[in-house]
Amino acid sequence: MAGKSPWGSNPGPRGGNEGGEGDDPAPEETPSAEGGNKPRNPWLPGDGEDGPRRAANIEDLFKHRQARRGGGGGGGNFPRMPQAPGGKSWAPLIAIGVIAGWFLISSVHQIGPKEEGIVTTAGQYSRTMTSGLKFSLPWPIQSVEIEDVTSIRTDTIPEGEAEKLMLTGDQNLVDLSYIVRWNIKDLKLYTFQIGDPDNAVKEVAEAAMRASIAEVTLDDALSGSGRAQVEQSVRTRMQALLDAYGAGIAVQGVEIKKADPPEAVVNAFREVLAAQQDAQSDINRARAWAEQVTARAEGEAEAFDKVYAEYRLAPEVTKRRMYYETMERVLSKTDKTIIEADGVVPYLPLPEVNRRASSNSNREESE
Partner 1 sequence: MESIWQNHKGVVIGLAIAIVAVLSSIFVTPETKQAVIVRNGKPIDVVNKFRPDLDYGNTGAGVWYRVPLIDRVVFVSRQILAVDMQRQEVLSRDQRRLEVDAYARYRVIDPTRLVQTAGSTARVEEQLRPILNSVLRQRLGTRSFQALLTAERGAAMNEIKEGLDKEAREYGVQVIDVRIKRADLPAGRPLETAYTRMETARKQESDTIRAQGSKAAQIIRAEAEAEAAQTYAAAFNKDPNFYDFYRAMQSYDTVFSNDSDNSSIVLSPDNEYLRQFRGTGR
List the interface residues with partner 1, window 309-328 (CB under 8 A). 311, 315, 319, 322-324, 326-327
Evaluate whether 90 touches 34 at the Cβ level (below 8 Å): no
Q: Is 110 near partner 1 (CB under 8 A)? A: no
Amino acid at 353: V
Report angle CA 357, 360, 366 to the nearest 5 degrees. 140
Site for partner 1 in 114-133 (CB under 8 A): 120-127
CB of 284 to partner 1, least distance (A): 9
Q: Is 351 near partner 1 (CB under 8 A)? A: no
Q: Is 160 near partner 1 (CB under 8 A)? A: no
Q: Is 145 near partner 1 (CB under 8 A)? A: no
CB of 233 to partner 1, least distance (A): 12
Q: What is the pattern of x (binds partner 1, CB under 8 A) and - over residues 172-201?
A: xx--------------x--xxxxxx--xx-
Q: Is 285 near partner 1 (CB under 8 A)? A: yes
- CA proximity to 128, closest of 185, 177, 84, 169: 185
The interface region with partner 1, picked from 2-10, 15-23, 130-138, 249-257 by CB under 8 A, is 2-10
CA pair distance 359, 353, nearest whole angstrom: 10
Evaluate whether 219 touches 230 at the Cβ level (below 8 Å): no
Q: Is 29 near partner 1 (CB under 8 A)? A: no
Is residue 17 helix, strand or coil?
A: helix
Give 53 or 333: the residue with its C-beta nearer to partner 1.
333
Give 18 or 206: the residue with its C-beta nearer to partner 1.
206
Give 226 or 261: the residue with its C-beta nearer to partner 1.
261
Evaluate whether 182 touches 153 at the Cβ level (below 8 Å): yes
Q: Is 207 near partner 1 (CB under 8 A)? A: yes
DSSP line for 59-91 = HHHHHHHHHHHHTT-TTTTS--PPPPGGG--SH
User: Which residues, 6 or more positions from 125, have their beta carbon under 8 angstroms from its beta carbon?
Assistant: 118, 119, 188, 192
Give 102 or 324: the residue with its C-beta nearer to partner 1.
324
CB of 201 to partner 1, least distance (A): 12
Evaluate whether 97 touches 1 at the Cβ level (below 8 Å): no
CA pair distance 102, 136, nearest whole angstrom: 12
Q: In what order do the strands lie in the sheet with 142-148?
A: 124-129, 115-121, 142-148
Site for partner 1 in 36-95 (CB under 8 A): 89, 91
Binding-residue total with partner 1 (CB under 8 A) = 102
Give 4 or 333: the residue with its C-beta nearer to partner 1.
333
Evaluate whether 182 touches 152 at the Cβ level (below 8 Å): yes
Q: What is the pattern of x (binds partner 1, CB under 8 A) and - over residues 236-265?
A: -----x--xxxx-------------xx-xx
